[in-house]
Amino acid sequence: MLDTYKRILELHPQQNAIIASGFSETTRVKEAQKLGAGAYVKKPYILEKVGVAVRDELDR
């Protein structure tokens, strides 16, 4: 996830993103957030939480 996000930023420096994973929050998640990624949404995915995360990113 972190490597992919870094590559995306190389191509599109202002790209918004949220992080979705089934794993617990790690230092790699926090590093991606320091680079500009938004909310971290973990399983079980709840539509309302995903929607709020996406809305927050679009508003940012």
- What range defines the domain where residue 16 resides? 2-59
**Tens place of pLDDT per residue across the chain (60 aa):** 889 999 999 999 999 999 998 887 789 999 999 999 999 999 999 999 999 999 999 998
Total number of domains constituting the chain = 1
How confident is the model at residue 60, as a pLDDT? 87
Task: Give the angle 47-58-6 at the CA atoms, nearest 5°.
Answer: 95
How confident is the model at residue 26, as a pLDDT? 86
Q: Are 21 and 31 in contact (CB under 8 A)?
A: no
